[in-house]
Amino acid sequence: MIILLNDVDSQYDNKGVLVGDKDALITDEGVRQSSIISRYIVKKYPRPKNVVFSDLVRLKQLIHHLRLDLRGSTFRSSNALRERNFGVLTGSVPRPESEIFIQSRICPEGGESVSQCRSRAMGVINHYDEKFVSEVNILISHPYLCQIMANAMENKDITLIEDFWFKKGSMAVFETSPYFKLKETVNILEISN
């Protein structure tokens, strides 16, 4: 089983700009969200084998809470789970009609395409042996990367963008045998309020 989990609120999220793989500090709201998400995960999935997470600082508080509560799990950061690199467009307002979102192979200068991002992220799953997918594993990343990974696992168009992954605390659970099958989607923060 693979649990794909979105990040928490950071200082640039409310500005409506593409943060991409640049780091941003967590907000007070992000600290609160980290605690809520951790409690939910621990209650519902108390013994994941692995927790693999983006190495960006904005996840530090969430990982801290999970480490305290999930004793016995292996924690590993991975730059492969960083948000999509938007290159020169980092800090700009996203335009969903832009070619960088519609075409899977077009990338902004100095950034990466949706296809490159998918290969990088799905490599995290492929890095492990077959036993990895038969255990409970949590992958924690950011909105665009979570969307791209979910699309890949569901065999959807990898450029599809849905509102779900742009809500902090969104989670998708995938069965993994013999292939990826979406079992559940939930926004932890919405059901925990």
Residues 33-85: tens digit of each pLDDT: 999 999 999 999 888 888 999 999 889 999 999 998 888 888 999 999 999 99
Q: What is the mean pLDDT of the chain?
A: 89
Report pLDDT digits (tens) over 138-174: 999 999 999 999 999 999 999 999 999 999 999 999 9
CA–CA gap between residue 10 and residue 26 (Å, rounded): 4
**119 confidence band (pLDDT: 50, 70, 90):** very high
Which is higher by pLDDT, 128 or 24?
A: 24
Domain count, the chain: 1
CATH classification of the domain holding 86 = 3.40.50.1240
Residues 30, 142 contacting (CB under 8 angstroms): no
CA–CA gap between residue 82 and residue 72 (Å, rounded): 25
Cis peptide before 143 (omega within 30 of 0): no
Sign (positive or negative) of CA dihedral 74, 76, 80, 82:
positive
Pairing, β 170-175 against β 181-187: antiparallel
For the entire predicted model, the pTM comes to 0.92
Q: Which domain holds residue 97?
A: 2-191
